[in-house]
Each structure stands twice: as C-alpha cells, then as structure tokens.
Structure 1
C-alpha cells in the first residue's frame, strides 16, 4: 500500500501497487496504517452480471488498473458446481457472487471485471 485517503462521502481508500498493477480501492484496515507491504484478502461487494460488469478480456494475463470511474480486474474466471464465481488474479483468488450462470465456454477464460472502487475491499490479516 502506498497511502490511505479519505474523501468526503466515501470510505477510506488505499492506493495499492501490486505486481500486476496499481489502483485505489476501499481499505478495511487500520485508518492509521502507513505505507508498506500488507497481506490482504480481496473482496468484491457487487453481484457479477455477464455482459454488464464482466466481459471477455482484451488481452491475456492478470492485471489491475483504473478504468475511468471504476477499477478493472483482469483474471481467470471459473465457478464451482454450486454457482460461486472465482477470479484468479495471479494466484490471489477472489470469490464472486454471480447474478446468473456463466454463459457456456466462459469458465476458464480471461475476463475483465469493471467495478466501482468502493465495491472492492482490502482486509489486512496476519499469519
């Protein structure tokens, strides 16, 4: 994490720099946390709708980047038999709530999720 910022009417936001990109997302840790490396759990607090906030990726490989008023997460999408989605971001797996079953042939492919930065949260943890 590079820094934490608070803007009127928004939650704490952390500017993060990872091996696959840089962006700002919601910080759910200590508001006084300083810059440094943190182990975090990534969560997405938004239902995933294929064709609306989830699309085939433009390019291969994991990536995190700002995308206008949102954050773009590019990773490998899969799902369990009971309909839970999983996005693999270079070895970090984020669980997703799928609004509908994925179209045939989408599971196991590179996709991009377009999400509001306040809907992506980082929860720091210690091992």
Structure 2
C-alpha cells in the first residue's frame, strides 16, 4: 500500500512511530523502516501482532469503505473481512490484504462484511519496501 509518511518519532516508553496518511485516514503506528526516513510516499506492508477476537477487538463497522483513524490508545482499521480456503482471516484495506490471527472462529454471516478492528498502535507495524 502506498502511504504518505509525515514523520517518524519516538516518545519515552514507545517504539518508533510513524505518523502516516492515506486516502482514507490518518494515524500513528509502529515503524519498522529506517528511523531517519524522510517525509514522503512509501510502499508498506501492514502487520497486526494481536489475536483477533470477535466482539473484543473487532466488530461490525458503522459504515462502509476503508477507514483509518486513531481511537484513544488504539488504531481503528475499517475494511472488508474474508477467509481463505484454509481458514485464515484477511482484512482488505483498500486493496491491501492484511493477515489476521484469529483466537476463535468468526460468527456466521460476518465474512464479506465491513468490520472495524481496534488494535493498540504498537501492535500494528508498517514495513516499507521498494518496488
């Protein structure tokens, strides 16, 4: 996914965080690239290092379409939920697929719907890569 990196900073007691913008939102998440990265556009892979539990950190979305925002101490990602043939969960975030680790099976009827994930900002990481 192409993001705009606004800045990379570290605050006491935290990892390096990237202030990022996309066409569908703005937030700060853990940065796993060069700490001296200059502001600009970067292609990144998103990872989530937290088990997904329906009703706790994922719920039906209030709206449709991709979304990214800060929600208190969390980052809120809105995307379409899907499953692979082997049962892995995926979040489609504006054409970018993020693999999700499920703690339990999803309820019936939620696959293919828009959901919101509420994940602590340090448990979401961006890995920049070159095309």
TM-score, structure 1 length as denominator? 0.98
1:31 aligns with: 35
Instruction: Return 5+ residue gaps in structure 2 as ranges.
Output: none
Match of 1:110 in 2: 114
* Structure 1 residue 121 displacement after superposition: 0.3
- C-alpha displacement of 1:99: 0.8
1:1-127 correspondence to structure 2 within 5 Å: 1-127=5-131
Inter-partner Cα distance in structure 1 for 2:55 and 2:39: 36
CA distance in 1, matches of 2:94, 2:85: 23
Aligned-residue offset at 1:84 = 1.1
Task: Give the Cα–Cα distance (whole angstroms) in 2 for the partners of residues 86 and 69 of structure 1.
Answer: 23
Counting matched residue pairs gives: 127
List gaps (5 residues or longer) in structure 1. none
RMSD of the TM alignment (CA)? 0.7
SS at match of 2:8: strand
More strand by share: 2
Runs of at least 4 residues off by over 3 Å: none
Normalising to structure 2: TM-score of the pair? 0.95
